[in-house]
Amino acid sequence: MPYVVIYDGKCNLCSNFVGLLEKFDRGNQFSYIPMQDEATLAQFEVTAADCEMGMILINTNDRDRKWQGSEAAEEIVKLLPMGKMFIAAYRAMSPIKAIGDATYIQVRDNRYKLFGKRDRTYHTAYPFGCKASKK
């Protein structure tokens, strides 16, 4: 899996997004690390504090290629089928993109208040370091 998604495993919105992404991708492109797994984050030189600025997407073949926040969300969508067309149109509409970026920040900063916080960290079926079987 060439990409790793770092997400807040205590956030309902984040965990539901990852769950949806798992169903679409089935471990073909993405593996996942909850920000609460500090030992695994350390392999990428990422701290839980770094994660407070939003989800992170890392290209595991070139770890210098990282995206965070709304840029990570856009890159994830871009990697999905037909995602390139959608993101190209979205990015071309600068007022819409600016609104999307600002909305991401507001949601990120208020995620527990808006969507709730889990008692336990959500762990995916495709954790980083685990080889997924192709179906």
Instruction: Dump pLDDT digits (tens) for 17-69.
Output: 999 999 999 989 999 999 999 999 999 999 989 999 999 999 999 989 999 99
Compute the average pLDDT of residues 98-126: 95
Confidence at residue 91, expressed as pLDDT on a 0 to 100 scale = 85
Task: With respect to residue 124, please indicate whether it lies within any of the assigned structural domains.
Answer: no
Task: With respect to residue 106, please indicate whether it lies within any of the assigned structural domains.
Answer: yes
Confidence at residue 135, expressed as pLDDT on a 0 to 100 scale = 42
pLDDT at 134 over 90: no
Structurally, how many domains does the chain consist of?
1
Spatial contact of 33 and 60, defined as CB atoms under 8 Å apart = no
Confidence at residue 93, expressed as pLDDT on a 0 to 100 scale = 85
Strand order in the sheet with 56-59: 30-34, 3-7, 56-59, 66-68
Task: With respect to residue 28, please indicate whether it lies within any of the assigned structural domains.
Answer: yes
Q: How many CA atoms lie within 13 Å of 52's alpha carbon, on the beta-carbon side?
A: 5
pLDDT at 119 over 80: yes
Task: With respect to residue 130, please indicate whether it lies within any of the assigned structural domains.
Answer: no
Task: With respect to residue 133, please indicate whether it lies within any of the assigned structural domains.
Answer: no
Task: With respect to residue 122, please indicate whether it lies within any of the assigned structural domains.
Answer: no
The range of the structural domain enclosing residue 107 comes to 3-115
Task: With respect to residue 39, please indicate whether it lies within any of the assigned structural domains.
Answer: yes
Confidence at residue 54, expressed as pLDDT on a 0 to 100 scale = 95
Task: With respect to residue 129, please indicate whether it lies within any of the assigned structural domains.
Answer: no
